[in-house]
């Protein structure tokens, strides 16, 4: 049961800036996911928290105490590595006992702790095996078991599921969630897979190029992304982006002319009219699951596009569309099954309430919604 606070963390390797002014807070027992594309510095940040990597500047505060100069072992954290990092020459039991032996834990207690962890993770029958004799999922469980027996203040996970196949990944995801609910210990979880972050975390920190783009609960990030990067990163399939120009402003918001459609399409969005001047180029974002297939053309907020490909999954499916006069494409998610085929044209309704509008200025921040419009 511990709290973690990072204040203005900077990290440089020589002249390369890896992390810039990172602030982060993890409350007691919170599951925090650090998510971002590869190379964004999320693993480095985790190693800084663990104590394996020193910071260039900034403070790491664990339980109210500054731990910058405390060694990795003394911080009382446990880490699960991407490659599991099991000691190949030791049995599962020895792997789990290694850390406890180093702290001088009595033999009987080591045995009891490993017994408990092994039962919890269904490793009982594997204790005398070596890591090479285990499957990927079992190795993963041993790595988690090795972390559990230490009774850490925080668990650190470094992309723990990335070496597993899809089915096992879903299963292990559920196991880690269950583990978190049972142990109620805080977890910092690094992943590049936003689905993992969305399904597991209490709080998600989105990183890009060494900087925090947005912090919030999964649904906050989904519902109100603060910039185009977060909007595109969170959600699967990705949010659709359409170039647009502000053509009118009034009390109800902005009127946008969307580029690339034939006939010309316009849409009214509930965005604070003070945020963008007339004629400003903006980016309209709308998620595939919010686009609707409309009955007839010509209705307000609709566009006409050509179907490039239809993916039928039975329960739901996706339509990939090409815009008539732009190389951008749209993905639409539909419920159930549809009869449309590739090559046909389809009319889509863009619900204004589900639209996000992003500035094209540096950082591409989201334009604030009209007050009271949500």
Partner 1 sequence: MPDALRFLTRTSGRARLDWTDWLSYAYLFVGLFLMFGPVLWIVMSSFKTQSGLTDFPPSFLPYGQKSVQVAGNEARLPLYRVKMPDGSTRELAELRRIGLTATMIDPAKPGEEIPVNIKDREKTSELRVATENYTELFGKLSFGRYLWNSVFITVVATLITLLFNSMAAFALSKYRFRGQKTVFLLIIATLMIPPTIILVPNFLVISNLGLLNSLWGVIWPAVATPTGVFLLRQYMLTIPDELLDAARMDHASEWQIYWRIVLPLTAPALAVLAIFSVMWRWNDFLWPLIVLSRSELFTLQLALNAFQGELQTEWNYLLAMTVITIIPVTLVFAFLQKHITTGIASSGVK
* Vertex 234 angle, CA 231 and 238, to 5°: 75
The correct pick among 72, 248, 293, 354 for binding partner 1 (CB under 8 A) is 72
Q: 153 vs 238, which CB is nearer to partner 1?
A: 153
Q: Is 73 in the site for partner 1 (CB under 8 A)?
A: yes
Q: Rounded to the nearest whole angstrom, what is the least distance from the CB of residue 109 to partner 1 in the complex?
A: 15
For residue 186, give every residue at least 6 positions away whose Cβ sits within 8 Å of its Cβ, in sequence order, or none: 1, 2, 3, 4, 26, 27, 28, 29, 30, 31, 32, 153, 154, 155
The correct pick among 18, 22, 26, 77 for binding partner 1 (CB under 8 A) is 77
Q: Is 79 in the site for partner 1 (CB under 8 A)?
A: yes
Q: Is 56 in the site for partner 1 (CB under 8 A)?
A: no
Distances (CA, A) of 197 to 27, 32, 142, 356: 17, 8, 22, 22
Q: Rounded to the nearest whole angstrom, what is the least distance from the CB of residue 253 to partner 1 in the complex?
A: 52
The correct pick among 85, 183, 248, 294 for binding partner 1 (CB under 8 A) is 85
Q: Is 83 in the site for partner 1 (CB under 8 A)?
A: yes
Q: 16 vs 71, which CB is nearer to partner 1?
A: 71
The correct pick among 42, 146, 173, 203 for binding partner 1 (CB under 8 A) is 146
CB-count exposure of residue 172 (10 Å: 0-12, 13-18, 19+): buried
Q: Is 150 in the site for partner 1 (CB under 8 A)?
A: yes
Q: Rounded to the nearest whole angstrom, what is the least distance from the CB of residue 148 to partner 1 in the complex?
A: 13
The correct pick among 36, 131, 186, 369 for binding partner 1 (CB under 8 A) is 131
In angstroms, how far is CA 334 from the centroid of its own chain?
24
Q: 79 vs 258, which CB is nearer to partner 1?
A: 79
Contact (CB, 8 A) for 293 and 346: yes
Alpha helices in 92-201, H assignment, sequence order = 92-102, 107-120, 136-148, 166-183, 194-200
Which has the closest alpha carbon to 333: 306, 360, 311, 303? 311
Please give the residues from 89 up to 118 whose contact with partner 1 meets the rule CB under 8 A. Answer: 89, 98-99, 102-103
């Amino acid at each position: 049961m511990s709290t973690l606070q990072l204040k203005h963390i900077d990290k440089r390797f020589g002249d390369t800036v890896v992390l810039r002014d990172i602030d982060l807070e993890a409350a007691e027992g919170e599951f925090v996911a650090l998510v971002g594309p590869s190379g964004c510095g999320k693993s480095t940040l985790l190693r800084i928290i663990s104590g394996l990597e020193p910071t260039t500047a900034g403070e790491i505060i664990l339980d109210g105490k500054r731990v910058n100069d405390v060694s990795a072992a003394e911080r009382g954290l446990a880490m699960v590595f991407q490659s599991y990092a099991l000691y190949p020459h030791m049995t599962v039991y020895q792997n789990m006992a290694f850390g406890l032996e180093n702290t001088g834990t009595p033999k009987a207690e080591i045995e009891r702790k490993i017994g408990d962890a092994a039962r919890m993770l269904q490793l009982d029958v594997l204790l005398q095996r070596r890591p090479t004799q285990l499957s990927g999922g079992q190795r993963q469980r041993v790595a988690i078991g090795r972390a559990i027996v230490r009774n850490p203040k925080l668990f650190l996970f470094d992309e723990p599921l990335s070496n597993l196949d899809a089915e096992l990944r879903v299963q292990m995801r559920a196991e880690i969630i269950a583990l978190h609910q049972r142990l109620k210990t805080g977890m910092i979880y690094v992943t590049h897979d936003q689905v993992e972050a969305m399904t597991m975390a209490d709080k998600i920190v989105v990183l890009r190029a060494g900087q925090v783009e947005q912090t919030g609960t999964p649904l906050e990030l989904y519902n109100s992304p603060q910039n185009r990067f977060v909007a595109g990163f969170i959600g699967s399939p990705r949010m659709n982006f359409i170039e647009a120009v502000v053509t009118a402003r009034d009390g109800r918001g902005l009127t946008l002319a969307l580029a690339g459609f034939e006939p010309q399409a316009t849409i009214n969005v509930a965005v604070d009219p003070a945020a963008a001047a007339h004629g400003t180029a903006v980016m309209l974002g709308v998620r595939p699951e919010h686009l609707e297939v409309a009955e007839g053309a010509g209705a307000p907020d609709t566009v006409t596009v050509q179907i490039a490909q239809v993916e039928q999954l039975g329960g739901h499916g996706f339509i990939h569309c090409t815009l008539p006069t732009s190389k951008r494409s749209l993905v639409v998610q539909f419920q159930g099954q549809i009869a449309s085929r590739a090559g046909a044209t389809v009319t889509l309704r863009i619900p204004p309430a589900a639209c996000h509008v992003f500035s094209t200025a540096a950082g591409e921040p989201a334009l604030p919604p009209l007050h009271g419009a949500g």
